[in-house]
């Protein structure tokens, strides 16, 4: 099975730029192991071109008087397959594990594939496993584990996001084994594990050699279609 490449475009590109972006990536002929997460208002451009699409956040209620929110029911009904949850930039804006837990539950119940981001801060690096453990316990609390075949864990050390530094392959591999075996022991399931944080067209060659990971979450580098294409080619070859 091909490894995933999740392109998180965050809050970037204006309308002309995103239309150019679509035109450019159309030339690359990506498979559906490449998931594009554009700013919400541009999602339909990608759905129209049959891309696998993820939404960058979601609310946990299915419908109602929640101005500015989108529900998993609505997203799934549009054909949006994936949702990013617990991203450090959301945690930074005050989303706590309780809220993330509700979103994970509602998204899985509504058939979406959840990319749950976990990661330690720079200060927490020496006790990273404890931090990740705690996030997993809280974010997955009381969720029906029969739905976990649609769960992907994205390890994104907060200190590695957007600043051109990554952990060593050994460090990523150690965390991958730790998280996978923790979830295996707790739920008796093999859950997909991907890495994110400063993945780019150069370091992907080295990162790809980590056998324990099932894909990559790419922010900055995915904004450039040629860089994204290079990453996808390395991952797929």
Distance CA 132, CA 104 (A): 16
Q: Which residues contact 234 (CB under 8 A, 6 or more apart)?
A: 201, 204, 205, 208
The DSSP secondary structure of 46-92, one letter per residue, reads HHHTT-EEEES---SSSSSS-TT---HHHHHHHT--EEEES-HHHHH
- Choose, by CB under 6 A, the member of 81, 139, 156, 229 that binds ligand PGA: 156
- Choose, by CB under 6 A, the member of 196, 201, 214, 232 that binds ligand PGA: 196
Provide the β-strand partners of residue 114: 83, 151
- Choose, by CB under 6 A, the member of 121, 130, 162, 206 that binds ligand PGA: 162
Q: Does residue 199 bind ligand PGA (CB under 6 A)?
A: yes
Q: Does residue 219 bind ligand PGA (CB under 6 A)?
A: yes
Q: Does residue 218 bind ligand PGA (CB under 6 A)?
A: yes
Residue 174 appears among annotated catalytic residues: no
Residue 232: CA count within 13 A, CB half-sphere:
20
Q: Does residue 86 bind ligand PGA (CB under 6 A)?
A: no
Q: Does residue 119 bind ligand PGA (CB under 6 A)?
A: no
Tally of residues, the chain = 237
Binding segment toward ligand PGA, per CB under 6 A, in 138-146, 171-179, 191-199, 228-236:
191-199
Ranked by CB distance to ligand PGA, the top (closest) residue is: 219
Q: Does residue 106 bind ligand PGA (CB under 6 A)?
A: no
Q: Which of 184, 183, 99 is nearest to 107 (CA)?
A: 99
Q: How many helices (H) and strands (E) does the chain have?
A: 9, 8
Catalytic residue among 87, 89, 120, 201: 87
- Choose, by CB under 6 A, the member of 4, 5, 8, 116 that binds ligand PGA: 8
At closest approach, how far in Å is the CB of 142 from ligand PGA?
Answer: 27
At closest approach, how far in Å is the CB of 223 from ligand PGA?
Answer: 9
Q: Cα 45–51–53 angle (5° rounding)?
A: 80
3-state secondary structure of 185: helix
- Choose, by CB under 6 A, the member of 191, 198, 208, 235 that binds ligand PGA: 198
Q: Does residue 81 bind ligand PGA (CB under 6 A)?
A: no
Catalytic residue among 81, 89, 120, 156: 156
Residue 89 appears among annotated catalytic residues: no
CB nearer ligand PGA, residue 38 or residue 219? 219
Q: Which of 10, 58, 1, 17 is nearest to 222 (CA)?
A: 10
- Name the residues that contact ligand PGA, by CB under 6 A: 8, 156, 161-162, 196-199, 217-220
- Annotated catalytic sites, by residue? 87, 156
């Amino acid at each position: 099975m091909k490894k995933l490449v999740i392109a998180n475009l965050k809050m970037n590109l204006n309308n002309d730029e995103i239309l150019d972006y679509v035109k450019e990536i159309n030339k690359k002929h990506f498979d559906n192991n490449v998931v594009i997460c554009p700013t919400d208002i541009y999602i339909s451009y990608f759905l129209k071109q049959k891309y696998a699409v993820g939404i960058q956040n979601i609310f946990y209620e299915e419908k109602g008087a929640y101005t500015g929110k989108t529900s998993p029911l609505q997203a799934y009904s549009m054909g949006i397959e994936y949702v990013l949850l617990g991203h450090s930039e959301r945690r930074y804006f005050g989303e706590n594990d309780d809220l993330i837990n509700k979103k994970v539950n509602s998204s899985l119940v509504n058939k979406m594939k959840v990319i749950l981001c976990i990661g330690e801060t720079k200060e927490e690096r020496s006790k990273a496993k404890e931090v990740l453990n705690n996030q997993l316990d809280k974010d997955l609390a009381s969720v029906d584990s029969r739905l976990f075949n649609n769960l992907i864990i994205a390890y994104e050390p907060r200190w590695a996001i957007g600043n051109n530094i990554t952990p060593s392959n050994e460090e990523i591999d150690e965390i991958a084994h730790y998280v996978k075996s923790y979830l295996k022991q707790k739920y008796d399931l093999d859950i997909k594990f991907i890495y994110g944080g400063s993945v780019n067209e150069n370091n992907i060659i080295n990162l790809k050699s980590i056998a324990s990971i099932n894909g990559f979450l790419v922010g900055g580098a995915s904004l450039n279609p040629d860089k994204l294409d290079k990453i996808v080619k390395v991952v797929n070859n």
